[in-house]
Amino acid sequence: MGIVANFRYRRISQNATVNDLLKETFRKGIHFCASLVPAFAAWNYSWTVLALSVVISLYIVCEYRRLGGNAVPIVSRITSYAARRRDDGHFVLGPVTMGLGVLFSLLLFPLSVAQYGIFALAFGDGIASLAGKLFGKNPIPHGRGKTFEGSTACFCAVFLSAVIVSGRPVEAIAIALVAMAIEILPLKDYDNLVIPLSIAAFVQMIQ
């Protein structure tokens, strides 16, 4: 057990231990799952919106039960494992803002536009965090832990997803620049709302 513990807390980069990276990978794996939503919405929009609404509502109930000492098996365990240090003893808001960011994107914009925002959230924000943990060495002033390496990774991820969807590199660069600028802001869990909605709004404006 001592060997395992020593390995888990071994520092592998300037910003992370093995344990930090495992938890961040798990968290961002959930982010990556959001990229499947546009495909489900294209298949059945109404059922996708309903499913998202139900999942968000159930999570809120489970989280309040966890905080009240009545943990829900599996769900509460996953939440506790994925929670950041700042969430200790508090309602873990990230899954709610992520779910709402995806849901509102679908409700407020056409799917052809909403998908840009959802992909920016799934890939841009997710990869930025992982890259920052692994390679981040140059902190962004007033960025509360954000690094230039992580933001560059965000730009690359959003650019690739946007160019694959649109086939227009110049438009994809503009979208990636906006996503990177938003990702730099110290929004905490609220970036899950701001990123998809802002990107979708920007895409609708330039198309």
Question: Quick check: is 66 in a domain?
Answer: no
Mean pLDDT, the chain, whole residue set: 84
In the chain, how many H helices and how many E strands? 11, 0
Q: Longest Cα pair distance anywhere in the chain, in angstroms?
A: 57
Radius of gyration of the chain (CA): 18
Question: Quick check: is 72 in a domain?
Answer: no
For the cut 60, the answer to whether the pLDDT of residue 2 exceeds it is no
For the cut 90, the answer to whether the pLDDT of residue 56 exceeds it is yes
Question: Quick check: is 102 in a domain?
Answer: yes
Quickly state the pLDDT bin for 41 (edges 50, 70, 90): very high
Per the CB < 8 A criterion, the answer to whether 80 and 66 are in contact is: yes
- Per residue in 22-34, pLDDT (tens digit) is 777 777 788 788 9
- Count the domains in the chain: 1
d(CA 85, CA 73): 21
Count CA within 13 A, CB hemisphere, residue 111: 14
- Per residue in 125-157, pLDDT (tens digit) is 888 877 777 776 777 776 677 788 888 999 999
Cβ neighbours of residue 133 closer than 8 Å, sequence gap 6 or more: 13, 15, 16, 20, 21, 24, 150
Quickly state the pLDDT bin for 3 (edges 50, 70, 90): very low
Domain range enclosing 104:
2-35+93-206
Per the CB < 8 A criterion, the answer to whether 114 and 38 are in contact is: yes
For the cut 80, the answer to whether the pLDDT of residue 21 exceeds it is no
Structure tokens at 35: 């990229």
The answer to whether the predicted template modeling score (pTM) of the entire model surpasses 0.75 is yes
Question: Quick check: is 57 in a domain?
Answer: no
What pLDDT score does 165 carry? 93
What pLDDT score does 11 carry? 58
Question: Quick check: is 194 in a domain?
Answer: yes
d(CA 13, CA 24): 14
d(CA 161, CA 35): 10
- Per residue in 85-97, pLDDT (tens digit) is 666 667 888 889 9
Question: Quick check: is 202 in a domain?
Answer: yes
Question: Quick check: is 130 in a domain?
Answer: yes
Per the CB < 8 A criterion, the answer to whether 26 and 94 are in contact is: no
Question: Quick check: is 45 in a domain?
Answer: no
- Per residue in 84-131, pLDDT (tens digit) is 666 666 788 888 999 999 999 999 999 999 999 999 999 988 888 777
Q: Averaged over 24-46, what is the pLDDT?
A: 88
Q: What's the one-letter identity of residue 179?
A: A
User: Could you give the percent of the chain with pLDDT greater than 90?
Assistant: 46
Q: Averaged over 161-180, what is the pLDDT?
A: 94
Q: ∠6-7-10 over CA atoms, to 5°?
A: 85
